[in-house]
Every structure is written in structure tokens, then in C-alpha cells.
Structure 1
Amino acid sequence: MAECLQLSLALCRIGFYTCFRALCCKGPPPPRPEYDVVCIGLTGAGKTSLLSRLCSELTDCIVPTTGFSIKAVPFQNAILNVKELGGADNIKKYWSRYYQGSQGVVFVLDSASSEEDLEVARAELHSALQHPQLCTLPFLILANHQDKPAARSVQEIKKYFELEPLARGKRWVLAGSTVDNMEAVKESFIQLIGLLEEKETDPARI
């Protein structure tokens, strides 16, 4: 009987020690992967506002980006180092200088813009999708300002921008967005992260 009691106490001590180590001796969590992403779109599309809200920054005094800015946007499973390029006419012609090293692309368009501006955005997106440094990368296309009365629906944008034939074989996500629904915006970025993870594990696939 005494031997059984000693054995039981020994097993209890081992169990206690194992639980203690599991609870108190855990090492730091593994670092989240980081991806370098370029964000493009015309002035007024809402790039800066969306990125600032994702970083929990104040958006009361947002001004259009001149040149470029870089933000580290944290998500639960990854960090996106987003290089936002200004969308003014005198800056767009230099976009391609900043493409090198990108692992993904975010293209933001104003779904409520004029026909003229929407056509310019369409041409810029087509150019990006076919650019040698971007054409194999995952794309997140955000049809922004969905809360405005004149906004085109995601399906209208998809058809107008001819995304099905143009982006066939590529990895892309098209989603509506507005700064009033950041949970949906975050979900769209999480989908992009999923595409980036696929790209990382299967680099030969396009």
C-alpha cells in the first residue's frame, strides 16, 4: 500500500511539473511573417485613409500622399509593410521605380468617381497587372467609397475593368470598401495575406 501511495505521489509531482513548465516556461511566440506590399491608386481613391485606419491612426487631417509613405500594418498572422505611392499625375509616371521588391499589390479605386477618372484608374490597373515586376504577384483590388450614392457595385467594377479576362490565371481579390466598415477591409487584407502565403509555399505557381 505504501509503495502504491509513493508511486501516486511521484506521478502527481511529474504531472504538476509538466503543467508548470507548460504554463510558466513558454518561450516567446514565433515572429509573424512580414510581406512587402505596394499600394497604388489615383489621388482621392482613399488609400491613405484606409491604411491609417488599419494602423489605428487619426484620420481627421488626412492629406493626399506626395511621393510615397511606408506603414507597417499589423494583422494576427502577418505584418504587411505597405509602401503607398501618391496618385497625382506628376507622380504616377514614377510608380514603376518603387515596384522592385514587392511581394503583393493593393490597388485602390474610387467606385464613385467620374467616368473619366474611372477610365484612368482602369488603364492604370491594366498597366500594373501587366507590368513585368508585378504581373506574377497577388493583387488586392479595393472598390472604395461604396458608401457614396454614386458608387458602382463590385460586380459593375469587375465587368467595367474586364478583370475576368485580364487577370485570368493570376491571384487576385476584388472587394468593396469604405472607412466606415473597417472589419470588411481587414478581411480583404487577410485574404491578400492568404494569397501571399500561397505564393510563398508554391513560388512556381502563377
Structure 2
Amino acid sequence: VFKKIFQIFFLSADYLIYCFRTLCCKGPPPPRPEYDVVCIGLTGSGKTSLLSKLCSEATDSIVPTTGFSIKAVPFQNAILNVKELGGADSIKKYWSRYYQGSQGVVFVLDSASSDEDLEVARTELHSALQHPQLCTLPFLILANHQDKPAARSVQEIKKYFELEPLARGKSWVLEGSMVDNMDGVKESFSQLIHMLEEKEQEIGRI
């Protein structure tokens, strides 16, 4: 009888130790993959506001980016190191100097802008999609300011920008966005992360 009691005691002790280790002694979670992404778009498209919101930063004193800025944007399954380039005319011509090392592209456009500015955005996006350092990378295209009355729909933007023929065979997604709907923006970035993961797997198989 005593032998049986001791066996039960030690088995119970081992089980308690196992539970304690499982609950309290877990190792650190595996590191999230990091991807280097370049973010481009004209001044006023809302790049800085979207990225600041994603980083839980205040947006009440946002000013246009001069030169470039870098933010580590955390997501549940990855960290995006986003290099945001200013969209002013004096900066746009130097964009390509900052493309090297990018693994993905975020292009933000103001869907409520004037026809003239929309045409400039179209030209810049076409240039980026065909640039030697970007043409094989995943693209997330955000038609921002969808909450404004003058905003064009995503379908209108897709047709006007001729994305279907131009980006055929490329890895890209076009989504509407607004700074007051960050759940939608996060979902769009999740699609970009998925494309980045697929691209990484392709490279690994080569």
C-alpha cells in the first residue's frame, strides 16, 4: 500500500513540474520575419498618416516627409521596415536612389485628388512598376482617402491606372484605404506580407 502511495505521489509531482514548465518556463517566441519595404506616393496622399497610425503614433501634427523616414511597423506575423520617401517634386526625382535592398513596395495615391495630380500619380506608379529594381517585387497599392466625397472607387482607379494590362504577371494588390479604418489598412498590409512570404519561398526554391 505504501509503495502504491509513493508511486502516486511521485507521478503527481512529475505532472505538476511538467505543468509548471509548460506554463511558466516557455522560451521566447520565435522571432518574426522582417522585410524591407519602400513606400512612395505624391505629397498629400497620406503615406505618413497611415504609417504613423499603424505604429500607434499621434497624427495631429503630421507634416509632409522631406527626404525619407524609416519606421518599423509591427504586425502579428512580421515586421515591416518601411522606408517612406517624400513625394514633393524636388524629392521624387531621387526616389530610385533609395530602391536598393527593397523587398516590397507600398504605393499610396490620393483617390480624391485633382485629375492633374491623379495623372502624375499614374505616371509615377507606371514608372515604379517597370523600374528594374522594383518590377519583380510585390506591390501594395492603396487608393487612399476613400472617405472623401470626391474619391474615385477602387474599380475606377484600377481602370484609369490600367493596372490589369500593366501589372499582368506581377504580384500586386489594389485596395481602398482611409486613416479612420485601420482594420482595413492592416488587412491590406497582411496581403502584402503574404506576397512577401510567397516571394521568399520562391527564392528559397531556386
Give the TM-score band, short-chain normalised. over 0.9
Which residue of the partner structure matches residue 129 of structure 1? 129
Corresponding position: 1:70 with 2:70: yes
In structure 1, the partner of 2:38 is: 38
Once the two structures are superposed, residues 44-77 of structure 1 have per-residue CA deviations (whole angstroms, 9 ceiling, x without a partner) of 1010111111111111111111111111111111
1:103 aligns with 2:103: yes
Q: What are the superposed Cα offsets for residues 145-182 of structure 1, whole Å, 9 maximum, x if unpaired?
A: 00011100011111111111111111111110011111
Q: How does 1:5-24 map to 2 (within 5 A)?
A: 5-24=5-24
Task: Give the TM-score of the pair, scaled to structure 1.
Answer: 0.95
Counterparts of 1:61 and 1:118, CA distance in 2:
25
SS at match of 1:137: coil
Aligned-partner Cα distance in 1 for 2:105–2:145:
19
Give per-residue Cα distances to partners, 1:60-114, cap 9 Å, x unaligned: 1111111111111111111111100011111111000000000100000000111
Please report the RMSD computed on the Cα atoms of aligned residues, expressed in angstroms: 1.3
Equivalence for 1:26: 26
- Which residue identity does 1:126 align to in structure 2? H
User: Separation in 2 of the partners of 1:112 and 1:200?
Assistant: 35
**Secondary structure in 2 matching 1:203:** helix
Give the letter aligned to residue 7 of structure 1: Q
Q: Matched residues in 1 for 2:5 and 2:127: separation?
A: 77
The equivalent residue for 2:196 is: 196
- Give the Cα–Cα distance (whole angstroms) in 2 for the partners of residues 3 and 21 of structure 1: 27
Normalising by structure 2, we get a TM-score of: 0.95
Give the number of equivalent residue pairs: 205
Q: Which residue of 2 aligns with 1:53?
A: 53
Shift of 1:8: 2.3
Q: Which moved more, 1:51-60 or 1:96-105?
A: 51-60
- Give the deviation of 1:41 after TM superposition: 0.3
Q: Cα offset for 1:204?
A: 7.3
TM-fit CA distance, 1:191: 1.1
Query: Is 1:155 matched with 2:155?
Result: yes
> Structure 2: where are the runs of 5+ without partners?
none
Per the alignment, residue 178 of structure 1 pairs with 178
DSSP-derived class of the 2:116 partner: helix
Q: Which amino acid aligns with 1:45?
A: S
* Separation in structure 2 between the aligned mates of residue 164 and residue 11 of structure 1, nearest angstrom: 65
Give the share of equivalent positions with the same residue, in percent: 82
